[in-house]
Structure 1
C-alpha cells in the first residue's frame, strides 16, 4: 500500500534580509564605492624589466612608455599602439609597488582609461616622456 508522505519535509532555510545576502555582500566588498569597477591604471615612462628581461611590445617593438593596468588581481601592460597583454609574471603587489601609495587613477572602463592617457592608438609610435638617466 502506498503512503502519501514518502518524503521527509524539507528544513526551511532562515530568511535573510537584503543586507545579509552573502552574494550581494561579496559584490559590495570587491567593488569600490561609487559603482566603478576595480580597474586602476597608471603610466610608466621607463622600461619595465621582468626577471631581468626588458618588456617589449610584440606588435610595434616599443621598450618603454607603458600604461600599466591592474584589474582586480590581473596586471596588463598596454603600449601606445593600443596593443595590450596580460603580464602573468606581475601581481597586484607588483603593481602597487610600482606606483607607490596613493598614485594611480580609478577609471570606469578600460576604454576611458586608455583614452584619458593617450594609449588608445592615436599616439602610436610616440614617446612622450624622456627616460630618466641611469
Structure 2
C-alpha cells in the first residue's frame, strides 16, 4: 500500500524543547520546582494608571480585562484579543488584582479561549454579579 511505503521512509525526529514550541513554552513558564512563571487573571473593573483610564487601543474598551503576569512583565488583554505590555504596572499591582484559586490551563491561548479573551466576545462587556 502506498501509505505504508511513505510511513517507512519518513525520518522520525526526537521531540526536544529546542524544536518543539509547546515543550519550550512549558519549560519557559515553569521553573524546575513547579513554580509557575506565567499567570493570568480576569479583572472586570476599570484599570487606572496614575489616574488615567486604560483603554484598548484597538477597540476602545474601558473595562473587563485579562491581566497577564510573565515573570515581572505585566500585559493587558482585551476581549477583542488585542494584548499589550503595560510598563507602568508592576508585579505588586498584579498581585493586588488576583483572586485566590483559579484554573490552570496548558497555555495562555487556551486560557484566553476558555475565559473569552480570544476575540469571540469582542465588543462585549460581561456584567459582574451584584452582591445580594
CA contact (8 A) 1:81 1:124 kept: yes
Q: Which secondary structure does the structure 1 equivalent of 2:46 belong to? A: coil
Distance across 1 between alignment mates of 2:47 and 2:129: 12
- Backbone CA RMSD of aligned residues: 2.4
Hey, what does 1:123 align to over in structure 2? 121
Hey, what does 1:39 align to over in structure 2? 38
Q: TM-score, normalised by structure 1?
A: 0.67
Q: TM-score, normalised by structure 2?
A: 0.68
Hey, what does 1:30 align to over in structure 2? 31
Q: Which secondary structure does the structure 1 equivalent of 2:127 belong to? A: coil
Question: Which structure is larger by alpha-carbon Rg, 1 or 2?
Answer: 1
Q: Which secondary structure does the structure 2 equivalent of 1:114 belong to? A: helix
- Count of residues in correspondence between the two structures: 102
Hey, what does 1:86 align to over in structure 2? 85
Q: Which ranges in structure 2 are unaligned for 5 or more consecutive residues?
A: 1-27
Hey, what does 1:68 align to over in structure 2? 67
CA contact (8 A) 1:45 1:131 kept: no
Q: Which ranges in structure 1 are unaligned for 5 or more consecutive residues?
A: 1-26
Q: Which secondary structure does the structure 1 equivalent of 2:122 belong to? A: coil
